[in-house]
Amino acid sequence: GLLGIKEIVENSGLNVEIIQGGWNCIDEYGDERTRFAHNRDAQGTAYAAAIMSVMQSNGVDASLNYDLACGSQYSNLLDWFSEIQKPFYALKAYKKLYDLGQEVESKGYGVYITAARKEGKAAIWVTNYDEKVTRCEILCKNFGPCKASFYTLDETRNLELTREEIYDADGVLAVQLRGYAAVLIELEAV
């Protein structure tokens, strides 16, 4: 997997790029009708969100989302009619982190987490790739008082604003995630 490859590359002294050649949420044991069933649902969306965090934390330089051809059974971003599918919103949320530019150290236990910041702004992307509901407490250090906006991506919501709160310096953000869900928390200094 990715974890072992990064170590091998770092230990080799070679200057090479790590490229993830394709990823998708496919049931290897399903028949032709059910094999790709999760590709566009909440499970496939949580998979897309989680894999982005895994690749970020493991030094992947580039990634391919296997097949974007409209209507392809592999495509999880567009359907036959070029309509946006739920996993698209996982990539949209990740772009918010990318636009901030400076990755922030983040560790998750039982969830996938990636964070970034820029002058007076930050974002945290938390994903639950499990069917069970989970509760997270996120300690934000060295940011100061802020307004936190929570955008939820789950089986019924597509990065919809679900709550806003004001936090003191070094606050703890509490989040409860449904099974196969993610939340983007945008922070803005106040």
77 pLDDT more than 80 = no
Distances (CA, A) of 19 to 2, 3, 38, 60, 61: 10, 13, 24, 6, 6
Other CB atoms within a 10 A radius of the CB of residue 118 amount to 11
pLDDT digits (tens, 9 = 90+) for 82-131: 667 788 888 889 899 999 988 777 776 778 888 999 998 999 999 998 89
Distances (CA, A) of 96 to 30, 76, 90, 115, 158: 34, 20, 10, 10, 15
Q: What are phi and psi of 161, to 5 degrees?
A: -65, 120
What pLDDT shows up at residue 45?
82
pTM, 2 dp: 0.76
**Which stretches within 13-146 are classed as H helix?**
42-57, 87-100
CA distance 158 to 147: 21
